[in-house]
A = this chain, B = another copy of it.
Amino acid sequence: MRSYSSFRPELWLVFGFLSLIAAGALALWSIGILKSMPIDFLDALFTSTSAVCVTGLSTIDIGRDLPTASQVVLLMLIQIGGLGVMTATTAFAVVLGARISIKGRLIWAGSMGLDTPQGAVKLLIRVFVISLFAEALMSVPLFLGFLQTEPVGRAAYMAVFHSISAFCNAGFSPYSNSLVDFSSNFLVMIPITLLIVVGGMGFPVVDDVIMCVKLRRWRPSPYSRVVLKSTFWLIVLGSLLLFLSEFNGAMRGMPFSEKVMNAVFHSVTPRTAGFNSLPMTSLSGLSLVFTVFLMWVGASPSSTGGGVKTTTLAVLWASCVSEVRGLGEVRLEGRSVDSRLQRKALTVSMLYTLAIFIAVCLLTVFEPLPTSTLIFEAFSAMGTVGLSLGITSKLTPEGKLILILLMYWGRVGIVTFMYSLFRRHVPGRVLLPGINMPIG
């Protein structure tokens, strides 16, 4: 059997994102000049990268410094970046009625964590239906929520913008203080929380869950169970910790229900949406340290989010448990995790963290800012999160370039990027029964 790996799909990803970033930067820069609201090219490049890599960090105030046309371009970059360059281009071909080649299907299937191209086109169509359906559905309560403080036209625009930005885990908001003004507006907070979680679970899992409901088969695949369980526990653990940590801190004076809502929101948003309903600088040291951990973990594979991914965390955790208990094999959801998957998880987490470490070292050289804020910013950029302790607009050009590189690596995947440079051998596939799922 010919494996999809021999097509080197990583090259498509690496160059696809690169082209889109370049095109976006040129578009934002030119529109700025045309509309007499010029921005620096480096800022255009930063904003384009941040949009395509669905990060949300910004060196400019996008609600104030960008003309509406640029904001629409930004939204398109987010939508394409969120769904993934390959998903988007393949979808484009489907829409045009083109026959998609086996090669194209294999590449796309590989990027979605599928082993075979069977059902790839069908899954692709469902991806689009799910995305648009979720975004459209949640726009309704969001519209009602924004209507409480905005006129009709602007409320509709904000609903659509935040719906797309949340589902794509982009975290961009035309409001310069993100969602701080809406921390008590449940019609805004709840839909955005739901969109982030569903967008971050990854299309194959969302699809599997929908199929389970449709077919009344109440047991998702092992891969889906790993994602669902780790997502559940990370949200519960994070909410609890933030609730306790900010009860008399950043959330002092809020009613109980609002405290719960904001704790859940700030547990969900670092993985890796990047909205905030509490001012980031008002959070305690404990909350910030735990936020960094959540940003490091990130979302699930084949999703709109970044990070090392929940499946990586699950494999690392299962490996540690097996080792400590002295088991011969690593077990996860009643399956054995083969050594190749363990090595991939190890590589993803190590290279990911190494990239952040090197970036922090470089940032301390160029930026006269507190090291802790630089560490936070680097985790945020690499995880394509977009949370910041308020230093993004103060960065030097060198600092901006470092963050651009981190956002790109974070979205493409540092290991995927390394494959594109160094992978010369395709390891022979081992066909033992074992759990199979994407890592990183």
**Residues in A lying within 8 Å of B, measured CB to CB:** 245, 284-286, 288-290, 293, 316, 319-320, 322-328, 330, 339, 342-347, 350-351, 357, 360-361, 364-365, 370-372, 374, 415, 418-419, 422-428
Contacts and interface: CB of A to CB of B under 8 A. Distances in A.
B326 A424 contact: yes
A327 B361 contact: no
Contacts of A286: 361, 364-365
Contacts of A285: 364, 371, 374
A183 B141 CA distance: 67
Contacts of A419: 324, 326
A324 B423 contact: yes
Nearest to A286: B364
Number of copies of chain A assembled together? 2
Given A285-B364, A346-B316, A423 B371 contact: no
A424 B325 contact: yes
Contacts of A357: 289, 293
Given A286-B364, A323-B343, A342-B342, 8 more contacts: A286-B361, A286-B365, A290-B361, A324-B351, A325-B424, A325-B425, A327-B427, A339-B339
A124 to B, nearest CB: 27
Given A289-B361, A365-B286, A426 B347 contact: no
Nearest to A351: B320
Given A293-B357, A357-B293, A364-B289, A346 B324 contact: no
Given A346-B316, A346-B342, A325 B422 contact: yes
A384 B327 CA distance: 30
Contacts of A372: 370-372
A46 B418 CA distance: 45
A346 B323 CA distance: 9
Nearest to A369: B285
A425 B428 CA distance: 32
A324 B342 contact: no
A328 B289 contact: no
B364 A327 contact: no
Nearest to A428: B328
A270 B74 CA distance: 46
Most chain B CB neighbours (cut-off 10 Å) among A350, A360, A365, A428: A350
Given A418-B324, A423-B325, A319 B290 contact: no
A256 B185 CA distance: 63
10 contacts: A285-B364, A285-B371, A316-B350, A324-B415, A326-B427, A327-B427, A342-B342, A370-B372, A371-B372, A372-B372
A85 B81 CA distance: 57
A245 B361 CA distance: 10
Given A320-B351, A364-B286, A343 B330 contact: yes
Contacts of A425: 325-328
Contacts of A328: 425, 427-428
A365 B244 CA distance: 11
A438 to B, nearest CB: 14
A426 to B, nearest CB: 6
Contacts of A374: 285
A419 B327 CA distance: 11
A317 to B, nearest CB: 8
A293 to B, nearest CB: 7
A364 B290 CA distance: 11
A371 B289 contact: yes
Nearest to A423: B326
Contacts of A284: 364
A328 B343 CA distance: 11
A259 to B, nearest CB: 18
